[in-house]
Amino acid sequence: MACHVPSYITKGFPIVRDVKPGGVFLVNCQWSFAELEHHLDAASKRYIAKNNIQLYMINAIDLAKKIGMGKRTNTILQSAFFSLAKVMPETEAIQYMKDAALHSYLKKGQDVVDMNYAAIDAGATAYVKVEVPASWADAVDNKEAVEETGRAKTVKMVKSILDPIDKMDGDSLPVSTFVDHADGTFELGASAYEKRGIAVSVPKWDAEKCIQCNNCAFVCPHATIRAFALTEEEAAAAPAQTKLADIKAGKGKGVYKFSMAVSPLDCMGCGVCISQCPVGAIEMVPMESQLEQQEVFDYMVDKVAEKKDMFVADNVKYSQFAQPYLEFSGSCAGCAETSYARIVTQLFGDHMLISNATGCSSIWGGPAATSPYTVNKEGKGPAWANSLFEDNAEHGLGMYLAQKKIRGDLKAKVEEMIQAPSCCAELKEAAQAWLDTYDDGNANQAPAKAFVKALEESISSIDSCIAFLGSDMGKQVYGDARDARWLPRSSSRRLT
Ligand code: SF4
Ligand code: SF4
């Protein structure tokens, strides 16, 4: 059994507990043994010590880079597997692997074949056996539990469903855990709690070199490198390790500070961002060296207000000052599809309905309990649905017609309300502004908020309703209250 991704160790995945007593467990990481000992959870240590597991370490990550294979560690680790597992004579296994490499890669050139040969030879010799300390048999965890914050319903879902699934323990969940989601709906924004930390390398931003084009944020499939414009106060309150620059040109110059924040624990390490930087202002560095930047990213997301005056919808640079409503999806590293979907959410996400066609986008877009679609501070975000068995255009037409009917009925009620003599002038004005922008999604947003506020302010108490019925205006509208249909039956309960 092997663990090829170091973050599976730091996340405490119970991988080793599937190894039979006396079996072999190989960990691929760039750590020293002391670092592995620090990261490994107590339950895994106890299992290793008590079951006489043979523990090995290998650093295929640096080896792959040295050989010229970049992030491709699989050949090295496959070779290590055959060398350690002894499922067949090692020399034969290595020869089969080399024959396969020749067959697969000769058309790409002898240098590619040689690289694979070097990876196969390296994998068979680069692992080291680790002496397991006897003290591991009594290991105990001393990590403090992290208290989740955020929207109460999302936090509840994360604790009860997402966390166990994340630890590969979803099978243990009883059906009753899902009662809150019996109608098939799940809270948005849960992917922000995963913090998978699976990237080996993440971008490091150079504030001085950067020309603030925002290309990197524009192409990032996972919304893990983001541009922020900060007021002086927001900049002053930012964590000490925050990197800031004056806005060099265009909108916001002389008004805001600029920062390109990276979320190391959400980044997938795909390197798409650095491939689009025109001036080499970002470089890929080991993830652990950038962990202090997580606090900066979290600060930017939580505390830095979105600057609407920096947003221009049809401009690459300025589109990236808008909040993405699709973040940290579990799509493959570097997925192009999620880059496009993310941009669409930056344009329409706070009032967007998505009828998703079944395919990759239904897997990264709607994995139950880890929704990568998210909401703004007002709780608004894309409403997403996918129907496996219907054509998504037909399904989307149904969503559209349902919305049209619901909105149409609401519109008719508002028009009726405006005609009512008892409707006050302020409420009429707000309602009319909402009606005037009814067919323009963007223009309708501010009037909709103002209308809701006016409606809330117009809610009358029971006492004021009774007082109104007794007033001249009330008599004019409803007749004499003593004879009217209201008062003889009036009681707090009925009027409510
Ligand atoms: S490496 Fe990939 S996931 Fe990470 S910030 Fe760059 S584009 Fe985004
Ligand atoms: S692509 Fe490079 S220059 Fe442009 S904003 Fe990103 S880091 Fe700065």
220 lines ligand 1 (CB under 6 A): yes
Q: Which residues of the chain form CATH 3.40.920.10?
A: 2-138
Record the tokens describing residue 276, joined without a space.
């689009």
CATH topology of domain 201-351: Alpha-Beta Plaits (3.30.70)
Cβ(31)–Cβ(102) below 8 Å:
no
Q: Is 486 a residue whose pLDDT tops 70?
A: no
Residue 16 CA to residue 40 CA, distance in Å, equals 10
pLDDT at 168 over 70: yes
Look at domain 2-138 and name its CATH class. alpha beta
For 321-378, write each residue's pLDDT tens digit: 999 999 999 999 999 999 999 999 999 999 899 999 999 999 999 887 889 999 999 9
Question: What are 226-276's pLDDT values in tens digits?
Answer: 999 999 999 999 999 999 999 999 999 999 999 999 999 999 999 999 999
21 CA to middle of ligand 1, Å?
40
pTM above 0.75, yes or no: yes
Mean pLDDT of all residues belonging to the chain = 91
- In the chain, which residues fall in CATH 3.30.70.20? 201-351
Atom in ligand 2 nearest the alpha carbon of residue 215: 1
Q: Element (H or E) spanning 3, and its range?
A: strand 2-3
- Concatenated DSSP letters for 274-292? HHT-TT--EEEEEGGGGTT
- The answer to whether the CB of 281 is under 6 A from ligand 2 is yes
pLDDT tops 80 at residue 491: no
Distance CA 446, CA 365 (A): 29
Would the pLDDT of 472 be above 90? no
Token look-up 């117009």 returns: 458
The answer to which of 271-280, 422-431, 457-466 has the lowest mean pLDDT is 457-466
Protein residue with least CA distance to atom 6, ligand 2: 216
Give the distance (Å) from ligand 1 centre to CA of residue 329: 12
Sort strands 282-286 and 201-205 into parallel, antiparallel or unpaired: antiparallel
Q: Which of 225, 265, 282, 287 to mutate to test the pocket of ligand 1 (most atoms within 8 A of CB)?
A: 225
Q: Is the CB of 268 under 6 A from ligand 1?
A: yes
Tell me which of 215, 219, 273, 287 to substitute to probe ligand 1's pocket, judged by most ligand atoms within 8 Å of the beta carbon.
Answer: 273
Tell me the backbone φ, ψ of residue 227, rounded to 5 degrees: -85, 135
What pLDDT, in 10s, does the model give residues 72-88? 999 999 999 999 998 99
Residue whose entry in the numeric block shows the structure tokens 């390490």 = 269
- Strands (E) across 244-299 are located at 245-246, 257-262, 282-286
**Of 490, 434, 433, 440, whose CA–CA distance to 467 is shortest?**
490
Which residue, among 212, 310, 301, 304, has the nearest Cα to 262 in the 3D structure? 301
Token digits for 65?
A: 């880079």
Burial class of residue 332 in the structure, from the number of CB atoms within 10 Å of its CB (0-12 exposed, 13-18 middle, 19+ buried): middle
* pLDDT of residue 146 exceeding 80: no
37-56 confidence digits (pLDDT tens)? 999 999 999 999 999 999 99
Q: What is the pLDDT of residues 86-126, one digit of tens each?
A: 899 999 999 999 999 999 999 999 999 999 999 999 999 99
Beta bridge pairs of residue 54: 24
Residue 376 CA, chain-centre distance (Å), reads 13
Rg from Cα positions in the chain: 30
Rounded CA-CA distance 202/222 in Å is 12
Q: Closest-lying ligand to the alpha carbon of 270?
A: 1
Nearest CA to ligand 2 atom 2: 277
Query: What pLDDT sits at residue 485?
Result: 53
Mutate to test the pocket of ligand 2, among 209, 213, 262 (most ligand atoms within 8 A of CB): 213
Kindly report the protein residue whose alpha carbon is nearest to atom 4 of ligand 1: 267
Ligand number nearest CA of 267 is 1
**Amino acid, single-letter form, for residue 96:** Y
- Which of 201, 219, 220, 320 for mutating ligand 1's site (highest number of atoms within 8 Å of CB)? 220
